[in-house]
Structure 1
Amino acid sequence: KQYEDALYLMQLAFESFSQADKKWLEIIDNYGLVCLDVMSLYFFSFYIHKHGLKQAHGKNMERLRELRGNGFIPELALYVRLNILKALQCFYQNDLDGARNFVIKAETDWRRLQISDTNLAEMQSMGFTEKEATRALRLCQSNMEEAIQHVFAKRNETRQRDEVRSLQHMGFNEARCRAALIATSKNLRHAIQYLLNPTAEQKEQVDRLEAEIEEKEKEKEKEKTNTDEKEQEKEKQTENNDANKDEDSKMNDNNAK
């Protein structure tokens, strides 16, 4: 938070200097110092954001892959930007090999984000929006048939969420609304009847389905907590190992001297 506030203030100073007469900027060092501070803060901010991505996505994007499966990962765009920043950092540290490697990584991920203009135009001609078509083609790696199926599946998910919300507005919790829709094969009108004026058999069916849904949600939350704890423990172990390696390296250097 402090870095963000400092960066905001430095950006204001930078903008103020930009409006000053250039002849004054050429004879004072304040402008150069502000530029240096802004760049320093950007690099500090870069480290903070890199650590945040690592915490959220996993060291090698394990959590993302668990969530998304082995297919396309939309968050690749973030890693394109991150690897470009890493490349710049290496370049200014005169590490040209490191800079080259990060540029190659960024370019590889960038290419995975690209889609065919022809496929995009064809899907739009079928009535899909540009946003729907672009996302589906990326997720399905430009496979038209799979992309079309994906769009219909997403539309169906959206419709189901809207139906659950409409039932929730009647005062029922989410699990019960989902249970009523399952019991009625996703027929909204019948689901309303199952909730408001059910027979004894219908009420029993909804009660049972609601209990099953709540139990699955609890198991899912418990599994997520266990996974997070394991990831944190693994990261701590990795950090400890890295720290031990650094310490051993320093000791070896001292012994060599």
Structure 2
Amino acid sequence: MVWCYFMLRDINWLSVARIRLEKAKEGLERAHGKDSSRVRLLQAGRYPERALYLILELLEGVAAYQRGQVDKSMKVLTSVQELFTQLQVLDESLCLVMIMGFRERDTKRALRMSNQDVSISPV
């Protein structure tokens, strides 16, 4: 929904976008725990929802920029860049697991969930 508001390019929707982002963040915190502690505990230290948080933060950064909060936007977008880097799958790890017969999509997901640790990849 928030992305649709940005695509409308109507500044009047920005307050609605901010409210929806705050509600989404609150809901994720209730479900996953503070700093995703509950989800990490249930997932044995893995963090499969990292991409979801990346998208949420990206939209928050764009919303802050649109509201003229350039410093906040830069801070959030720097955090997004760090999350994006963590989600990148190394070619060596990808090849090593795919050689075992797993599909690329499953392999990438498993490597992201296991923080690139090939020895514990839950493919």
TM-score, normalized by length of structure 2? 0.75
Q: Distance in 1 between matches of 2:95 and 2:101?
A: 10
Q: Distance in 2 between matches of 1:146 and 1:59?
A: 26
Q: Distance in 2 between matches of 1:47 and 1:126?
A: 43
Pair 1:47 & 2:31 matched: no
Pair 1:69 & 2:69 matched: no
1:112 — aligned with what?
86
Q: Distance in 2 between matches of 1:63 and 1:93?
A: 33
Cα deviations by residue, 1:148-191 (Å, 9 ceiling, x for unpaired): xx33xxxxxxxxxxxxxxxxxxxxxxxxxxxxxxxxxxxxxxxx
One-letter amino acid of the counterpart of residue 89, structure 1: A
One-letter amino acid of the counterpart of residue 119, structure 1: S
Q: Over alpha carbons, which structure has the higher Rg? A: 1
1:93 — aligned with what?
67
Identity of aligned residues (%): 26
User: Which among 114, 118, 121 is matched to residue 144 of structure 1?
Assistant: 118
Q: Distance in 2 between matches of 1:102 and 1:89?
A: 10
SS at match of 1:60: helix
Partners of 2:18 and 2:60 within 8 A in 1: no
User: How many residues are paired up?
Assistant: 121
TM-score, normalized by length of structure 1? 0.40
Cα deviations by residue, 1:102-138 (Å, 9 ceiling, x for unpaired): 1121111111111112322332232112233112212
Please state which structure has a larger fraction of its residues in helix. Answer: 1
1:236 — aligned with what?
none
